[in-house]
Copies of this chain bind each other. A is one copy, B any other.
Amino acid sequence: MKRVGLLTSGGDCQALNAAMRGVVKSIVNASDQVEIYGFLEGYKGLIYGNYKMLQSSDFSGILTKGGTILGSSRTPFKLMREPDENGLDKVEAMKHNYYKLNLDCLVILGGNGTHKTANLLRTEGLNVVTLPKTIDNDLWGTDMTFGFQSAVNIATDAIDCIHTTAASHGRVFIVEVMGHKVGWLTLNAGIAGGADIILIPEIPYDIKKVVKAIETRHKRGSRFTILAVAEGAISKADAALSKKELKKKQEKNIYPSVSYQVAAEIQERSGLDVRVTVPGHTQRGGSPCPYDRVFASRLGSEAGKLIMKGEYGFMVGYKNREIVKVPLEDVAGKLKYVSPDATIIKEAKMLGISFGD
């Protein structure tokens, strides 16, 4: 008998359901005696003992479904309230529920923040296996996360749509792409969408160089310019500030996001008409693309294998085209950034893309 807890935490993304289906199908195919406990709304469900028993059939037909059938919560773990009723702190409450249900292990699907808590639970003695879920692809220890490629597709669709309008009206357009503090999503969607300028957090931009790149294009006869700007993009000036100074400056910021600021600066310096589009949360939603479905299914299947073997304390990741297990302590608390010297950046520059640096 295997008693397996499942939970999805952090911002939702595509292929969460595909990954859970993979885990459950592979365990059920390997063992007749399985009980699946699905904790609702992420760690909250584990803290408050809020779960439902799931059958194999609950995972049929969800391969193509976006979101998560368990619900999730974006409340950071440290801000979650303590459970009131029993005086335990959050971690104790989670351990209490884990042992009360006599679980063999927890399968936790999440991103960066989620992995910190998962590792904490591991150090507290719980058996944990995790899966790398995030559209940001910023998790340490894996070349790829599921959700990423689907989000690239949606962001690229947005750039494609904007392309026809930009070309027809001879304007400067900014498409703001998600990605939290890293530039993977913007970089890939930008190249795929044929963006002329890409601004990512890892390569702070000089607004003068951005404007110059636009003006050079227009001088050469291009009627329009498209910028893919990461939600975490930052100017050279701001990147040089201390954390404290930056925070102070941002508090006075009147723009809803960095794209609007870049737009205002370009407009002021060049006199050109600049428009901003923010596809926002659409980038997390909808049916996962085939790449993510295969990838998440494979990771899920390997997580099932680890569980059957009783190997715990790992994230199932992807390295050099192989599925690998990565110790949780190596993953927790680290971000995987785009290196400004990465081959893909050099290639993008050879294609004529400016990074404003």
A interface residues with partner B (beta carbon < 8 Å): 8, 11-12, 14, 16, 22, 25-26, 29-30, 41, 63-68, 71-74, 143, 149, 152-154, 156-158, 160-165, 167-170, 173, 188-189, 191-194, 223, 256, 275-286, 289-291, 293-294, 297-298, 301-302, 304-305, 320-323, 343-344, 347-348, 350-352
Contacts and interface: CB of A to CB of B under 8 A. Distances in A.
A67 B164 contact: yes
B347 A284 contact: no
Contact of A305 (B279, B289, B302, B350): B350
Nearest to A66: B164
B160 A25 contact: no
A44 to B, nearest CB: 11
A113 to B, nearest CB: 15
A12 B161 contact: no
Contacts of A276: 280
Number of copies: 4
Contacts of A348: 301
Contacts of A143: 321
How would you classify the secondary structure of chain A's contact residues: helix, strand, loop or mixed? helix
Given A12-B169, A168-B12, A278-B280, A347 B297 contact: yes
A152 B54 CA distance: 31
Residue among A156, A165, A277 with most chain B CB within 10 A: A165
Contacts of A278: 277-278, 280
A165 B12 contact: yes
A160 B283 CA distance: 11
13 contacts: A63-B194, A64-B160, A67-B168, A72-B169, A143-B321, A149-B290, A153-B290, A165-B281, A188-B294, A191-B293, A192-B291, A277-B278, A297-B351
B279 A282 contact: yes
Residue among A143, A294, A323 with most chain B CB within 10 A: A294
Nearest to A27: B350
Contact of A71 (B152, B156, B169, B280): B169
A161 B66 contact: yes
B286 A168 contact: no
A46 to B, nearest CB: 17
A178 B352 CA distance: 34
Given A71-B169, A290-B152, A25 B351 contact: yes
Contacts of A67: 163-165, 167-168
A350 B301 contact: yes
A3 to B, nearest CB: 19
A68 B347 CA distance: 22
A170 B41 contact: yes
B162 A298 contact: no
Contacts of A41: 170
A184 to B, nearest CB: 11
